[in-house]
A and B are shown apart, each in its own frame.
Chain A
Amino acid sequence: MTDLTDRYVWAAARTIPETQRAEFDRELRERIGDQIDALVDHGRPHADAERSVLHDLGDPAALAAGYVDRPLYLIGPKYFLTWWRLMKLMYTLVLPLAAGGVVLAQFLAGAEIGELIGGSVATVLAIAVHLGFWITLSFAVIERMPNTTLPKMWEVEMLPPLPDLHRTNRLGELITSLVFLSLLVVAIFWQQFGAVFRDGVREPIPVLDPALWSFWIPYFLVLIVLEMLFAVVVYARGWTWTWASVNVLLNVAFTVPALWLFLSGQLFDPAFLEAIQWPWGNAETERVLTAVFAATFIGIPVWDIVDGFLRAARARSAVAAPAAA
């Protein structure tokens, strides 16, 4: 006789509510005893039979959970989809908004660039962890409360419209825009710490004139955020003439000041120009290069504006087509 049965029964019974424990203890001992006896009757040594019976009973915690109908999952099928939808909403909408708020608050509080990035990353990470943890915990608690039902979470009216074929294509555009705009933001902050490397050592020479931080760089950052929102809206709604017009406004708001700053020589930090030994070559080369830069500054937004109208026109004819088919 070993103490395995006692240990098994104890391990299972300790998770059972006090009031049911004595009954459970007795039932389990009867079951184990009878099953061991049956094996012993078939000629198995007692210790061997005991081990085999306990092995077949499985994890005592699982056995006890079955006894008191305790779920062996965190969130079951009844609430899983509600939880999942809420999590998606939190991480795609609430978290980015909160992140934007944190950056803005840090900026308004006059945080240094390094402090701004470091502080924001830490705060946003903390928000992300808290969101996930508390929502999941709430659902796990609701799952374990008897007789609770969340209001019905699905109705026929909630059926999504049939997929818009153009929307799938637009997802690629959306991702491209967001990645590009994010990189731009990162570049704006990154350049502040110097973009000139001499012998592999980063020199603290910003590319853009630090004086611009007083107004123009924040102005461009806000515009970039607006561009991001615009990209999301266009993804959700599709190109229309209205959106194409808004696109014109955004492009003008970005390009005109940028071009003006560039041409009036306020865009770049003089120390940076000196470090890269600008101007290269004679006055003629300088003029040509300036013209090339200016053309690029104008060309990209013009192309973007035209592209917006082309897409609006295409979307309109595409909407008409399936109706006719």
Chain B
Amino acid sequence: MNTDEMTAGHIQELRRGTVVLACLIRLRTPDYGYALLESLNALGILVDANTLYPLLRRLEKQGLLTSEWNTDEARPRKFYRTSATGEQLADTLMTDWRRVDKALAGLTTGDES
């Protein structure tokens, strides 16, 4: 395995949990799979369709998202929305993310001094 591959692997691992967090926050406004994918990628939260679609389904199964079919347009679309449980989890994850960020910052400045 070369260095690039290794770096990519670690970056992917680091980002894995943040995709869940991003979905939970972004879906406070209901949206469907492809629109979510586009908006996340536009924000620089890079996620692959093969990751996102199964993830949405899993979060729904865990009760973190609710869904509703929208049949107004030619193509029926499943709109996901963050549930109350999802909101709670988002808060917890966000707090933890900030804590880790702070801890890492402390570690870096501690290193330099």
A residues with CB within 8 A of B:
26-27, 29-31, 33-35, 38, 56-58, 66-67
CA distance A29 to B75 in the complex (A): 9
Known: A31-B53, A38-B34, A38-B38. 15 other contacts (CB 8 A): A27-B53, A30-B33, A30-B75, A30-B76, A30-B78, A34-B32, A34-B33, A34-B34, A34-B75, A34-B77, A35-B34, A56-B49, A57-B50, A58-B50, A67-B54
Closest 3 CB pairs of A and B: A34-B34, A33-B75, A30-B77
Shortest CB distance B61–A (Å): 9
Provide the residues of chain A in CB contact with B75, threshold 8 Å.
29-30, 33-34
A282–B76 Cα distance when bound, in Å, is 107
Known: A27-B78, A30-B77. A67 touches B49 (CB 8 A): no
Interchain CB contact under 8 A, B33 and A31: yes
B33 touches A66 (CB 8 A): no
- Number of B interface residues at 8 Å Cβ cutoff, please give it: 14
List A contacts of B34 (CB < 8 A): 30-31, 34-35, 38
Main secondary structure of the interface of A (DSSP, over half): helix
CB-based contact A66/B76 at 8 Å: no
Q: Contacts of A56 on B, CB cut-off 8 Å?
A: 49-50
A34 → B minimal CB distance (Å): 4
Q: Which residues of B contact A58 (CB under 8 A)?
A: 50
Chain A residues whose C-beta falls within 8 Å of the C-beta of B78 in the assembled complex: 26-27, 30
List of A residues within 8 angstroms of B69 by Cβ: 26
Residue B16, interface by CB 8 Å: no
Cβ of B102 within 8 Å of any chain A Cβ, yes or no, is no
Find out whether the CB atom of A31 lies under 8 angstroms from the CB atom of B54.
no
Give the shortest distance, in Å, between B102 (CB) and chain A (any CB): 35
Interface pair A30/B54, CB less than 8 Å apart: no
Find chain A residues with CB under 8 A from B50 CB: 56-58
Instruction: Kindly state whether residue B57 has any CB partner on chain A within 8 Å.
Output: yes
B57 to chain A, nearest CB (A): 7
Nearest Cβ in chain A — how far from B33, in angstroms? 6
Residues of A near B77 (CB, < 8 A) are 30, 34
Chain A residue at minimal CB-CB distance from B53: A31
Of B53, B54, B76, the residue contacting A26 (CB under 8 A) is: B76
Residues of B within 8 Å of A26, CB to CB, are 69, 76, 78
Complex alpha-carbon distance, A91 and B81, angstroms:
55
Tell me which residues from 35 to 61 in chain B have a Cβ below 8 Å from any Cβ of chain A. Answer: 38, 49-50, 53-54, 57
CA–CA, A35 and B53, complex, Å:
12
A66 near B32 with CB under 8 A, answer: no
